[in-house]
Amino acid sequence: MKVSSKTKLLLASLGLLYLHTACQSAQPSATSTGIDNNTYTATASTQATASTETTAATPAADPVFEGLNYKYTVKKVTLPSGNRIAYTDQGTGTETLLFIHGLGSYLPAWDKNVAELSQHYRCIAIDLPGYGKSDKTGVMAGMATYANNVLALMDALQIKQATLVGHSMGGQIAITAALKEPQRIKHLILAAPAGIETFTEQQKQLFKMTVTPESVQKTTPEQVAANFKVNFHQMPADVQYMIDDRLKMTESAEFGAYSTAVAGSVAAMVDEPVYEQLPQVQVPTLIIFGAQDALIPNRYLNPDLTTQVVGETGRERIPNSQLVMIPEAGHFLQYEQAEAFNKAIRDFLK
């Protein structure tokens, strides 16, 4: 399946990491957004904590996703929703950083950051439901739902307060969680966050019609590699394992469920915007963009915008926030320029 330049740019406008889907013609979306607007309450945190387990003790049924090579020991916890969520937990310290990956990604996207930052802080990286080694069957994708999952994991691990570090879609999820329960969030660190750039209702419908579970599943290996490359200013050679992992996923019996989660996540991002609520964010916030981000803003829909302008918009709308632009970095800035990214976090948290 060939991908039109227009479609590539339209998809890029979401500013998402690892968008593995594109169709030459738009199709009606075959997935529900599954938005859960109920506020999570910690009534089952004791049960969730008792359900914590290591991957080795209770392997998931699917060997493909479980066989992905993670750098750190993976643990799992069953949330009150019934979904098992995979996470890694490294380091100690008075500050807990909870890392939330972007669309179509997984927790190894933070490996270079956890390796250094875990020397100073407790670092927890998660696979969102539908992704990586977390449950995929019966997952309801949604920004509010994912925010609830993050807060439920904090309850299960008895973490009263944490700093959320979110990349792209993960940034929008982090903002949603901070708006929902600001007392639980000490700081926000938003890496190339989705949710600051805005789109019309017509554009939102186009995104949902274009990104479907079927289009995700039909992505060719060549398109997968190209989709990774656009996330970087200069793609590092050590990204290859992520490309290999993405290709392995197609062999899984759960690849259809993963594809549905990706498509549902796109729909949820445009259906649950945070732009108007940004002035309500109550916690100190660091916004970090790569100066050469090719995905935010969209070069087709917003040709007059620049990444700097989008970042400044976020800084102006979010009280008590600051903006850092990292040179020689694209959308996947935390991996491409990990040293500069980690330093920005350490400086912010001093």
3-state secondary structure of 186: strand
Identify which of 262, 271, 218 has the alpha carbon closest to the alpha carbon of residue 128: 262
pLDDT at position 289 is 98
Provide CB contacts within 8 A for 339, sequence distance 6+.
116
pLDDT at 227 over 60: yes
Token pair of 71 as six digits: 């750098």
Distance of CA 336 to the CA centre of its chain: 16
Q: How confident is the model at residue 57 (pLDDT cuts 50, 70, 90)?
A: very low
pLDDT at 97 over 90: yes
Say if residues 148 and 40 touch (Cβ distance below 8 Å): yes
- Residues 287-295 have a mean pLDDT of 97
Domain ranges of the chain: 5-349
- Residues 97-114 have a mean pLDDT of 97
| Per-residue pLDDT tens digits for 148-207 | 999 999 999 999 999 999 999 999 999 999 999 999 999 999 999 999 999 999 988 888
Q: Are strands 185-191 and 285-290 parallel, antiparallel or unpaired?
A: parallel
Burial class (CB in 10 A: 0-12, 13-18, 19+), 327: exposed
Segment among 83-87, 102-106, 203-207, 313-317 with least mean pLDDT: 203-207
Kindly report the CATH number that applies to the domain delimited by 5-349: 3.40.50.1820
Segment among 102-111, 172-181, 206-215, 246-255 with least mean pLDDT: 206-215
- Residues 7-18 have a mean pLDDT of 46
Distance, in Å, from the CA atom of 12 to the CA atom of 94, rounded to the nearest integer, reads 38
pLDDT at 22 over 60: no
- Residues 214-242 have a mean pLDDT of 96
pLDDT at 35 over 90: no
Identify which of 269, 266, 217, 208 has the alpha carbon closest to the alpha carbon of residue 246: 217
